[in-house]
Amino acid sequence: MAARVYLRPVAFVDAPFGLDGKVERLAGGLAWFSAVELTTIDGAARTSVELVPVEAIGDVLNRLPGDARRAWINLTAPRLPLTLGERVVRLDQPQTVGIVNATPDSFSDGGVHADAAAAADAGHAMATAGAAIVDVGGESTRPGAAPVWEGDEVQRVLPVVERLARSGTAVSIDTRKAAVMEAALAAGAAMVNDVSALSWDPRSAEVVSRAGCPVVLMHHQGTPETMQNAPRYDRPVLFEVFDWLEARIAAAETAGIDRARMVVDPGIGFGKTVQHNLQLLNGLALLHGLGCPLMLGASRKRMIGALSAEAPADRRLAGSIALALKGVEQGVQLLRVHDVPETVQALHVWRGLRDAALTPQ
């Protein structure tokens, strides 16, 4: 593999006032950065790291290859809103996506929402609490989970999707199966969230393209049955995930899906060790170079337990909030979470701090 230069925004500042030409706005959001870390990866090795002030980036870009210049354009271009049916989700500020698992065996809340009415009520409560989107899934993809037959998955999610969509809630369907996507979209879902990034089912890209709906492309390594069996990467994980997502974006574009409708997710916990996850979370801002909005799904993940005396899934709220705020500080637009009211409150406080910083004195 030829050497490649990657751009990661760093040195974030509270506000751009008085810093014309010295800072840039990240992806049209509420974060400004004053420097860029240029990392050269040659083969499997990191061969150089250079810190460049924003005010000097123009001269540096002139000597870099085209993919680095495209990454700079992507870093500084605003993200268009997502259209989910009649709902429009703005991406100039972070939004929450509530998780409704209509499954008996999800890692965090398996069985809690297995009844369609209870699942729909949970989704309504999340929307009322401030979730911009409710993400409904009928197949657990926790480590070690076995695949679910598509017929069973449809039976689990369809009544939930129908109830939520009828109430005006913006619904996403969390599935990797084309048949489930088709059924859910017909029932009122308006976005697809695929943990396989449209790679598991050969028909899935066609279904999304035909529907013209937004789609979340998530990085993964292996399958749920095997993904946590000693995951490894040949290069630093952040850059390998970047390249993998870039390839999936290109494949989706080839299938006729507009890049403006794509969201990317680094796939925390999907074929990653705790160290891999931490490295990804520390470097999230680099992924804006793909030119798509970012979704972060770190809520209640096992890494929180690993860092806090093996706290069980239902005692990981504080860690989930910490990771959510780590994401929004780096410009993440969508937070996929179990605990919507608590996350929305944290975002309100974060937004209050940002608004105060952006109010000229």
Residues identified as active-site: 301, 336
Dihedrals φ, ψ of 251, to 5°?
-65, -40
Reported as type and span, the H/E element at residue 352 is: helix 340-357
Kindly report the CA angle at 93 between 84 and 8, in degrees rounded to 5? 110
The pair of structure tokens assigned to 228 is 């946590």
Kindly report the CA angle at 14 between 12 and 17, in degrees rounded to 5? 110
Residues 194 and 200 sit within 8 Å (Cβ to Cβ): yes
Reported as type and span, the H/E element at residue 174 is: strand 171-174
In whole angstroms, give the CA distance from residue 282 to residue 217: 20
Kindly report the CA angle at 56 between 55 and 61, in degrees rounded to 5? 125
The pair of structure tokens assigned to 203 is 């028909």
In whole angstroms, give the CA distance from residue 91 to residue 80: 7
DSSP secondary structure string, 293-324? -BEE--TT-HHHHHTTTT--GGG-HHHHHHHH
Residues 204 and 179 sit within 8 Å (Cβ to Cβ): no
In whole angstroms, give the CA distance from residue 305 to residue 310: 4
Residues 172 and 136 sit within 8 Å (Cβ to Cβ): yes
Classified as helix, coil or strand, 136 is: strand
The pair of structure tokens assigned to 72 is 């700079």
Q: How many CB atoms lie within 10 A of CB 275?
A: 10
**Chain centroid, CA 274 distance in Å:** 18
